[in-house]
Structure 1
Amino acid sequence: MNLKQFKVPLLLLIVGVILTIIGAYFKVQAIEHGSLLLTIGTFLEFCAIFLGIIKLIKISRQKS
Protein backbone atom coordinates (compact mmCIF):
# COMPACT_ATOMS: atom_id res chain seq x y z
CA MET A 1 0.00 0.00 0.00
CA ASN A 2 1.41 3.31 -1.10
CA LEU A 3 0.68 6.67 0.53
CA LYS A 4 0.39 8.30 -2.91
CA GLN A 5 -2.86 6.39 -3.42
CA PHE A 6 -4.42 8.38 -0.57
CA LYS A 7 -3.37 11.83 -1.80
CA VAL A 8 -6.88 13.17 -2.46
CA PRO A 9 -8.48 11.88 0.79
CA LEU A 10 -5.57 13.22 2.85
CA LEU A 11 -5.75 16.62 1.16
CA LEU A 12 -9.50 16.80 1.75
CA LEU A 13 -9.03 15.80 5.37
CA ILE A 14 -6.38 18.48 5.96
CA VAL A 15 -8.51 21.19 4.33
CA GLY A 16 -11.56 20.04 6.32
CA VAL A 17 -9.67 20.15 9.62
CA ILE A 18 -8.34 23.62 8.86
CA LEU A 19 -11.81 24.92 7.96
CA THR A 20 -13.29 23.34 11.07
CA ILE A 21 -10.69 24.99 13.30
CA ILE A 22 -11.19 28.37 11.64
CA GLY A 23 -14.98 27.97 11.87
CA ALA A 24 -14.76 27.12 15.58
CA TYR A 25 -12.58 30.18 16.13
CA PHE A 26 -15.10 32.35 14.28
CA LYS A 27 -17.95 30.94 16.37
CA VAL A 28 -16.11 31.66 19.63
CA GLN A 29 -15.32 35.20 18.51
CA ALA A 30 -18.89 35.69 17.18
CA ILE A 31 -17.63 36.49 13.69
CA GLU A 32 -20.00 35.95 10.76
CA HIS A 33 -20.02 32.68 8.78
CA GLY A 34 -18.56 30.58 11.58
CA SER A 35 -21.38 28.05 11.28
CA LEU A 36 -20.92 27.82 7.53
CA LEU A 37 -17.20 27.14 7.87
CA LEU A 38 -17.87 24.50 10.53
CA THR A 39 -20.42 22.80 8.29
CA ILE A 40 -18.20 22.83 5.21
CA GLY A 41 -15.18 21.62 7.18
CA THR A 42 -17.09 18.76 8.75
CA PHE A 43 -18.56 17.79 5.38
CA LEU A 44 -15.09 17.72 3.80
CA GLU A 45 -13.79 15.56 6.64
CA PHE A 46 -16.67 13.14 6.11
CA CYS A 47 -15.98 13.00 2.36
CA ALA A 48 -12.28 12.37 2.98
CA ILE A 49 -12.99 9.50 5.37
CA PHE A 50 -15.55 8.04 2.97
CA LEU A 51 -13.12 8.22 0.02
CA GLY A 52 -10.36 6.70 2.13
CA ILE A 53 -12.56 3.76 3.11
CA ILE A 54 -13.57 3.19 -0.51
CA LYS A 55 -9.90 3.28 -1.55
CA LEU A 56 -9.01 0.74 1.16
CA ILE A 57 -11.80 -1.58 0.03
CA LYS A 58 -10.63 -1.37 -3.59
CA ILE A 59 -7.05 -2.14 -2.58
CA SER A 60 -8.07 -5.12 -0.46
CA ARG A 61 -10.20 -6.54 -3.29
CA GLN A 62 -7.30 -6.26 -5.74
CA LYS A 63 -5.03 -8.28 -3.44
CA SER A 64 -7.56 -11.12 -3.09
Structure 2
Amino acid sequence: MMEGKNKLLEQMLEFGYSREISLKVLEASGAKTSIAKKSEAQKNKKLIKVNKSEARKNKKLIIVKSEK
Protein backbone atom coordinates (compact mmCIF):
# COMPACT_ATOMS: atom_id res chain seq x y z
CA MET A 1 0.00 0.00 0.00
CA MET A 2 2.84 2.39 0.82
CA GLU A 3 4.29 1.98 -2.68
CA GLY A 4 1.06 3.36 -4.11
CA LYS A 5 1.30 6.41 -1.88
CA ASN A 6 4.94 6.96 -2.86
CA LYS A 7 3.92 6.80 -6.51
CA LEU A 8 1.10 9.27 -5.85
CA LEU A 9 3.50 11.72 -4.21
CA GLU A 10 5.94 11.46 -7.11
CA GLN A 11 3.12 12.12 -9.59
CA MET A 12 1.86 15.11 -7.60
CA LEU A 13 5.35 16.61 -7.51
CA GLU A 14 5.78 16.00 -11.25
CA PHE A 15 2.55 17.88 -11.97
CA GLY A 16 3.80 20.89 -10.03
CA TYR A 17 2.07 20.51 -6.68
CA SER A 18 4.24 21.80 -3.86
CA ARG A 19 5.76 19.26 -1.49
CA GLU A 20 3.78 20.71 1.46
CA ILE A 21 0.44 20.32 -0.32
CA SER A 22 1.37 16.85 -1.54
CA LEU A 23 2.34 15.69 1.93
CA LYS A 24 -0.84 17.13 3.45
CA VAL A 25 -2.90 15.21 0.90
CA LEU A 26 -1.02 12.01 1.69
CA GLU A 27 -1.35 12.66 5.44
CA ALA A 28 -5.08 13.13 5.02
CA SER A 29 -5.23 9.83 3.15
CA GLY A 30 -3.63 8.10 6.15
CA ALA A 31 0.02 7.94 5.11
CA LYS A 32 2.26 7.92 8.15
CA THR A 33 5.52 8.29 6.27
CA SER A 34 6.62 10.82 3.71
CA ILE A 35 9.33 10.87 1.09
CA ALA A 36 12.22 13.28 1.23
CA LYS A 37 15.36 13.55 -0.80
CA LYS A 38 18.50 12.94 1.24
CA SER A 39 19.61 16.60 1.12
CA GLU A 40 16.15 17.77 2.11
CA ALA A 41 16.07 15.41 5.07
CA GLN A 42 19.43 16.72 6.22
CA LYS A 43 18.34 20.37 5.92
CA ASN A 44 15.05 19.82 7.73
CA LYS A 45 15.92 18.56 11.20
CA LYS A 46 12.29 17.52 11.81
CA LEU A 47 12.69 14.76 9.24
CA ILE A 48 14.52 11.95 11.01
CA LYS A 49 14.13 8.22 11.66
CA VAL A 50 15.17 6.94 8.25
CA ASN A 51 13.68 3.63 7.18
CA LYS A 52 16.96 2.04 6.04
CA SER A 53 15.54 -1.00 4.24
CA GLU A 54 13.44 1.26 2.01
CA ALA A 55 16.40 3.57 1.40
CA ARG A 56 18.50 0.62 0.24
CA LYS A 57 15.81 -0.47 -2.23
CA ASN A 58 15.48 2.97 -3.77
CA LYS A 59 18.79 4.84 -4.03
CA LYS A 60 17.22 8.15 -5.11
CA LEU A 61 14.75 8.55 -2.26
CA ILE A 62 14.87 7.93 1.46
CA ILE A 63 11.68 7.24 3.36
CA VAL A 64 11.56 9.52 6.38
CA LYS A 65 9.08 9.59 9.23
CA SER A 66 8.20 13.12 10.29
CA GLU A 67 8.52 13.78 14.00
CA LYS A 68 5.47 15.39 15.60
More helix by share: 1
* Bigger RCO (CA 8 Å, 6+ sep): 1
Task: Work out whether the TM-score is over 0.5.
Answer: no
Q: Normalising to structure 1: TM-score of the pair?
A: 0.32
More strand by share: 2
